[in-house]
A and B are shown apart, each in its own frame.
Chain A
Amino acid sequence: MSEILKYLTQTWNIKKLVTLLSLFVLMMTSGLPLLAQQQRFPKPEFESGYTQPVTSMPDARSDFFALFDVFVLILALSLITWLILKKRSRRGVLAVSVFSILYFGFFREGCVCSVGSLQNVTLALFQPEYSIPISALAFFVIPLVYTLFFGRTFCAGVCPLGAIQDVLLLRPVTMKTWLQKVLGLIPYIYLGLSVLYAATATDFIICRYDPFIGIYRFDATFFMFSIGAIFLLLSAFVARPYCRFFCPYGVLLNWMSRFSKHHLTITPNKCIQCRLCEDSCPLGAINKPVPVKVMEDRPSATKRFIKLSLIIPALMILSAWTLSNFHENLAKVNTKVSLANELMLFKPDAMLPSVEVEAFKSAGTPVEELYSEAAVIVEQFYIGAWILGGFLGLVFGLTLSSLSVFKYREDYTPDKGECVSCARCLKYCPVEK
């Protein structure tokens, strides 16, 4: 071995030897495997005639069909209103309900719907750069106008969310009044939150957590499908659980219906006090007559109402202050705020970055810019939380004070706000036109 080395050093200079060895190592490590790979996987031929598919997005509903939907809505509303008020037909209501489930539900996949359009309207009100589609505006306004004149005929069978629950009602159970009152506060909270999140352009929570949309589209996640299934199962025993205890648009319709000019009446003529309709409403939306002996004298009732009404401002302030303390928690739903929060708490030495943090860093946007944007959004939430808290305080206060109000009634009448004009009670009335 020593002889070989001696021979090499005599005939080759050491620099030449190192160069040769380096080239050999380089070929072994890169050149040869590359050659081998090229042989194994020949370069693809792009001239084979294959064309890359064009990346495409789903088409927006064309203007014609968007207007056609509005036309169908008006037609369905007019028909169901005529069937309820003139024909007094429960069968007709059922037929329109089935049509709505098929058309607005399965065919149109629950979009655009009046319940969700509430968020488009809010966004348009608070974000001037957002231009609301005419069809969304029409779906929001038209049912309100109809309700203002004819009661909640939209809920009766045109709304696909209400219709699917209504047709599944098999054995309605009566709920305690106090429970109905308590659960009836949830839609106000839901309405307030959906308005807050839409106004701050954070999210459309009504659409995100709609329990029936996933069923209509056959694409629900397991969680949303479970929620939808629970609601549908519940609908067999509790009349319209989503409409009564969740629907935020129902709150607006409830308010409008109180002013309605031609609301459904149980009896087509003079009430004969037969009491047959007393328990006919699965929603408990029939006001019973108040016997005169139960009636309190007017001055003491007024005095109690005033006393209770004084609690309302206190409740509003308390509720607004409480909610304003949680504005940062409410704002965390916003993606910018949550990202800014994550970045603030992120420690590169001790933590692995999340996908969001990595994506933000690779985009190259300055962190300060994100922080300032997030601060503006948090400020909006602070103001929004005060308003929302005040609104909820007002609702709680009014609910409390309304419990002490006794209205004198001679006949069985539908509660204009709660009644969805489903026409179930009509067949119980023996009085002819």
Chain B
Amino acid sequence: MNRRRFLHNIGRGTILSALAIFSGTMVDRSINSEGGCDFDFVCRNCKKNKDCTLPDGIDFRKKNSIQ
């Protein structure tokens, strides 16, 4: 293995590690977060509303059940 190839291997390994750490963090955040809103907080017709834990979603469910 020459010097150039050795440096390339180190570079590749570093980038791969960085990508893996970054992806892992993002996936973890995505799974453990309370969930963002796909519809800009317009709850009507939202399919995720029944399981939504966001305050707007809970509020919408409450109002709907009264009606």
Contact = CB atoms under 8 A, between A and B. Distances in A.
Interface in A241-260: 256, 259
B27 A148 contact: no
A256 B16 CA distance: 10
Given A57-B42, A259-B8, A259-B12, A131 B23 contact: no
A131 B29 contact: yes
Interface string B35-56: 1101100101101000000000
Interface string A53-74: 0111101100000000000000
A54 B36 contact: no
Interface string A118-141: 000100100011111110010001
A233 interface: no
Contact of A148 (B12, B36, B47): B12
A171 interface: no
A148 B16 contact: yes
B27 to A, nearest CB: 6
B44 A259 contact: no
A184 to B, nearest CB: 21
A121 B45 CA distance: 28
Contact of A130 (B19, B36, B38): B36
B33 A131 contact: yes
Nearest to A60: B38
A261 B30 contact: no
A168 to B, nearest CB: 33
B45 A145 contact: no
Given A54-B44, A57-B45, A134 B27 contact: yes
Interface residues of B, number: 21
Nearest to A128: B29
Contacts of A134: 27, 30
Given A124-B26, A134-B30, A145-B16, A56 B45 contact: yes
Contact of B47 (A59, A121, A128): A59
Contacts, number: 51
Given A57-B39, A57-B45, A148 B15 contact: yes
B23 A141 contact: yes
A363 to B, nearest CB: 16
Contacts of A133: 30
A144 interface: yes
B35 A131 contact: yes
A59 B11 CA distance: 42
Contacts of B8: 259, 261
Contacts of B44: 54-56
Contact of A145 (B19, B26, B30): B19
A259 B11 contact: yes
Nearest to B5: A261
A257 to B, nearest CB: 11
Interface string A133-166: 1100100010011001100000000000000000
Interface in B15-33: 15-16, 19, 22-23, 26-27, 29-30, 33
Contact of B23 (A56, A137, A259, A261): A137
A128 B29 CA distance: 9
Contacts of A132: 26, 29-30
A131 B12 contact: no
Contacts of B33: 131
A129 B54 CA distance: 13
A131 B36 contact: yes
A143 B19 CA distance: 12
Nearest to B15: A148
A130 B16 CA distance: 24
Contact of B12 (A54, A56, A57, A261): A261
Contacts of B22: 141
Residue of B11, B23, B39, B42 with highest tally of chain A CB at under 10 A: B23
Nearest to B16: A148
A259 B38 CA distance: 38
Closest 3 CB pairs between A and B? Answer: A259-B12, A131-B33, A259-B11
Given A54-B44, A121-B26, A133-B30, 5 more contacts: A56-B45, A132-B26, A137-B26, A256-B15, A261-B8
Interface of A: 54-57, 59-60, 121, 124, 128-134, 137, 141, 144-145, 148-149, 256, 259, 261
8 contacts: A57-B39, A57-B42, A129-B36, A131-B35, A131-B36, A137-B30, A141-B22, A141-B23
Interface of B: 8, 11-12, 15-16, 19, 22-23, 26-27, 29-30, 33, 35-36, 38-39, 42, 44-45, 47
